[in-house]
Amino acid sequence: MTTMTEAAPQTRSFEADVAKLLHLMVHSIYSDKDVFLRELISNAADACEKLRYEAISQPDLLGEDSQPGITVTLDAEGRCLTIEDNGIGMNEAEMAEALGTIARSGTKAFMEKIAGAKDAEGSQMIGQFGVGFYSAFMVADRVDVTSRRGGTDTAATWSSDGLGTYTIQPADVADAPARGTRVVLHLKEDAATYTDSFTVERTIKTQSGHVPVPIILKDKPDAEPKRITDGAALWTRSKNEVSAEDYKDFYRTVAGQFDEPALTIHYRAEGRHEYSVLAFVPETRPLDLFDPDRAGRMKLYVRRVFITDEAQILPRYLRFVRGLVDSSDLPLNVSREMIQESPALAGIQKGVANRVLSDLEKLSASDAERYLKIWEAFGAVLKEGLCEDYGRRETLLGLARFKSTVSGSQWTSLKDYVASVKENQTAIYYATGPDLDRLASSPQLEGFRARGIEVLLLTDQVDSFWVTSGVDYEGKPFKSVTQGLADLSLIPLPEGQEPASTASDAVNTFIAFVKATLGDAVADVCASDRLTESAVCLVAPEHGMDRQLEKLLAGAGRLDTATRPVLEINPQHALIKKLSEVSDGETELREDAAHLLFDEARIADGELPIDPRAFSARLTRVLSRGLN
């Protein structure tokens, strides 16, 4: 072994992404450097938990040192801070892999975000993206990591100034941790405050007070060790022994976010399956909420031993919930792969999902304002459940809140919607589109407004999917205002308003002419009862896809044929009446009008005219004619 320690250090380059990340980390995140401590302690704690897990099948790994611990040592004279753990440790290859590359797929997105982010936001993002280790370079101009993997008799040192390269070389086992990892930060001049024991102790207690491994602080390299956190598992305590402050600190540790939990769920399930749950709904969206790779983030423990955070305890549409489940009845030595098959896990999955939803329901009744905050942040994700979890649809529809033509800037529920339906109204009407204001002013809504019929305005992408998945609420189906017949004639208008009478013969003739002129561009042209002020609008044919869904799919390249829309014409509109009276001989004017009406309807839907050059030629002709 001794020959190895004399080998020349091997210099290697960081993966390009790491180098870029380090640069950003050092140059764009100035405030709140404290997070580096949280990140390094969390890595040390993870290493201790991994050891505990591996030791289940290999008890020898623990040796004589079976109590996990993290020791933070300060050295003001040498301007050094050291974090040492007796966890699983890393061998040379593992170090090169873990500290020289970035495994996570979200990293690119992270770097783009962080480059444009303000200080405080930037430091919040670090934890979320699992690039924690590199935060050490915010405060250190050299970092040495000496590690010895449990069960091996060699150690290695990784060392870098964070500027593009690092070295790895074998280390003298006598100086290395007997097992685990020692991270030495050679602090920058302006980071000397991290050798001050008061500052460091306070920071660790607030950021990492509930890490499930005890933390020991040494003021000086030769000082007496002092235990500053106890490593007790917060979730094993009963609710009335835990303060709001404790919950908040713990939430920040598990979520890697700096906001407050909007909802805390802490209980012990008893009966067929016994387990404790401590889970939180955050206040704000994590950045990668819609990353397709983002999975749930609930950790699974078995009798306080961390097993995995990939057990998919909650369904995907609850992926914003952070926390853990500690099971008393799963066998400790179950392999991670076997867990998925276990009936106990199935029981936990069902129980926890139900509990999260019922706690949300309770919150919506007891504290509507706080509930709406959660809905604003995560409603779009919860609605995915309407397509994915048929068994809980009722519950999810009950939790859903909507903007509508009646609610204005407020949120409304389906319960309220159904309570105020109009006479003979058999459906729940909705419109979908990306922009709320534009949606609210769509011509297709006019006839509904005139009758006082509430229309839900749905602006999330997922809305186009769940509304067409056959849902109903209290026996009322959902119906798009931009698809098929509006069929409003049965619903009375307020007193004093005349219903749109049927089209006159002249108008019908004109409609037939428009249809013939537009030919294949439209599926049909017909008289509308959904318009009151506008002359025209487009709707989707009764069968097939609604227009917004089609746009979404086409935009995602998942559609090659477009459905032809139906052009609806308002038979009562002054312009339409006038056009119907234009004599047959004026072919050019009538044809221009037919095309312009179609293009007008497209523009009102936020689209371009079919043929922009032909459109402007026609517009010019018609306008010039008006001026003659």
- Considering the complex, state which of residue 286 and residue 385 has its C-beta at the smaller distance from Mg ion: 286
- Considering the complex, state which of residue 105 and residue 424 has its C-beta at the smaller distance from ligand ADP: 105
What secondary structure letter does DSSP report for 494? P
With a CB cutoff of 8 Å and minimum separation 6, the contacts of 618 are 592, 595, 596
Nearest distance in Å: CB 38, ligand ADP: 10
Burial of 77 (0-12, 13-18, 19+ CB in 10 A): exposed
Q: In angstroms, what CA-CA distances link 7 with 3, 144, 167, 172, 425?
A: 7, 17, 12, 12, 83
On whether the CB atoms of residues 99 and 16 are closer than 8 A, the answer is: no
On whether the CB atoms of residues 433 and 548 are closer than 8 A, the answer is: yes
What's the token pair of residue 326?
Answer: 């500690």
- Considering the complex, state which of residue 99 and residue 511 has its C-beta at the smaller distance from ligand ADP: 99
Instruction: Report the distance separating Cα 468 and Cα 458, nearest Å.
Output: 13
Residue of the chain from 21, 29, 35, 44 that contacts ligand ADP (CB under 6 A): 44
In the window 484-513, what residues touch Mg ion (CB under 5 A)? none
CA atoms within 13 A on the CB side of 282: 25
Which of Mg ion, ligand ADP, none sits in contact with 201, Cβ below 5 to 8 A by type? none
Residue whose structure tokens are 């890595």 = 43
Number of C-beta neighbours around residue 493 at 10 A:
16
Nearest distance in Å: CB 226, ligand ADP: 21
162 forms part of the interface with ligand ADP (CB under 6 A) = no
Nearest distance in Å: CB 43, Mg ion: 4
Strands of 50-201 (E only): list them. Answer: 70-75, 80-85, 140-148, 155-160, 165-171, 180-187
85 forms part of the interface with ligand ADP (CB under 6 A) = yes
47 forms part of the interface with ligand ADP (CB under 6 A) = yes
Specify the stretch interacting with ligand ADP by CB under 6 A; choose among 125-133, 191-199, 260-268, 548-556. Answer: 125-133
Specify the stretch interacting with ligand ADP by CB under 6 A; choose among 129-137, 422-430, 440-448, 545-553. Answer: 129-137
Specify the stretch interacting with Mg ion by CB under 5 A; choose among 125-133, 187-195, 263-271, 437-445. Answer: 125-133
485 forms part of the interface with ligand ADP (CB under 6 A) = no
Specify the stretch interacting with ligand ADP by CB under 6 A; choose among 40-48, 187-195, 359-367, 453-461. Answer: 40-48
Q: For residue 616, give the nearest of 601, 585, 595 by alpha carbon.
A: 595
Which of ligand ADP, Mg ion, none sits in contact with 98, Cβ below 5 to 8 A by type? ligand ADP
132 forms part of the interface with Mg ion (CB under 5 A) = yes
Nearest distance in Å: CB 184, ligand ADP: 12
On whether the CB atoms of residues 188 and 141 are closer than 8 A, the answer is: yes
- Considering the complex, state which of residue 132 and residue 150 has its C-beta at the smaller distance from Mg ion: 132
* Overall size of the chain counted in residues: 628
> H or E segment at 26?
helix 16-28
Nearest distance in Å: CB 218, ligand ADP: 17
- Considering the complex, state which of residue 185 and residue 540 has its C-beta at the smaller distance from ligand ADP: 185
Instruction: Report the distance separating Cα 124 and Cα 256, nearest Å.
Output: 7
Residue of the chain from 86, 157, 181, 203 that contacts ligand ADP (CB under 6 A): 181
Q: In angstroms, what CA-CA distances link 80 with 18, 142, 181, 193, 196?
A: 24, 10, 16, 10, 11
With a CB cutoff of 8 Å and minimum separation 6, the contacts of 500 are 447, 529, 531, 532, 570, 571, 572
Nearest distance in Å: CB 550, ligand ADP: 40
- Considering the complex, state which of residue 106 and residue 132 has its C-beta at the smaller distance from Mg ion: 132
Instruction: Report the distance separating Cα 349 and Cα 330, nearest Å.
Output: 13
131 forms part of the interface with ligand ADP (CB under 6 A) = yes
Residue of the chain from 21, 24, 43, 68 that contacts Mg ion (CB under 5 A): 43
Which of ligand ADP, Mg ion, none sits in contact with 131, Cβ below 5 to 8 A by type? ligand ADP
- Considering the complex, state which of residue 40 and residue 348 has its C-beta at the smaller distance from ligand ADP: 40
- Considering the complex, state which of residue 43 and residue 257 has its C-beta at the smaller distance from Mg ion: 43
Q: How many chain residues are in contact with ligand ADP, going by CB under 6 A? A: 15
Q: How many chain residues are in contact with Mg ion, going by CB under 5 A? A: 2
Nearest distance in Å: CB 88, ligand ADP: 6
- Where b means 16+ CB within 10 Å and e means fewer, 441-476 reads ebbbbbbbbbbebbbbbbbebbbbbbbbeebebeeb
What is the dihedral angle through the alpha carbons of 522, 525, 529, 533, rounded to the nearest 10 degrees? Answer: 80
Q: In angstroms, what CA-CA distances link 625 with 303, 619, 622?
A: 84, 10, 5
- Considering the complex, state which of residue 127 and residue 347 has its C-beta at the smaller distance from ligand ADP: 127
Residue whose structure tokens are 């549409």 = 317
Nearest distance in Å: CB 48, ligand ADP: 9
With a CB cutoff of 8 Å and minimum separation 6, the contacts of 543 are 484
Which of ligand ADP, Mg ion, none sits in contact with 256, Cβ below 5 to 8 A by type? none
Which of ligand ADP, Mg ion, none sits in contact with 45, Cβ below 5 to 8 A by type? none
Specify the stretch interacting with Mg ion by CB under 5 A; choose among 36-44, 190-198, 233-241, 423-431. Answer: 36-44
Residue of the chain from 56, 98, 173, 614 that contacts ligand ADP (CB under 6 A): 98
Chain centroid, CA 318 distance in Å: 10
Which of Mg ion, ligand ADP, none sits in contact with 191, Cβ below 5 to 8 A by type? none
Nearest distance in Å: CB 44, ligand ADP: 5
Residue of the chain from 26, 29, 39, 41 that contacts ligand ADP (CB under 6 A): 39
Nearest distance in Å: CB 110, ligand ADP: 12
What's the token pair of residue 216?
Answer: 């020991």
87 forms part of the interface with ligand ADP (CB under 6 A) = yes
Specify the stretch interacting with Mg ion by CB under 5 A; choose among 105-113, 127-135, 176-184, 574-582. Answer: 127-135
Residue of the chain from 132, 150, 351, 609 that contacts ligand ADP (CB under 6 A): 132
Please provide residue 303's backbone torsions phi and psi, each rounded to the nearest 5 degrees: 40, 55
What's the token pair of residue 365?
Answer: 């009744």
| Largest Cα–Cα separation, the chain | 105
Q: Which residues of the shown chain bind Mg ion in the complex (CB under 5 A)?
A: 43, 132
Q: Which residues of the shown chain bind ligand ADP in the complex (CB under 6 A)?
A: 39, 43-44, 47, 85, 87-88, 90, 98-99, 130-133, 181
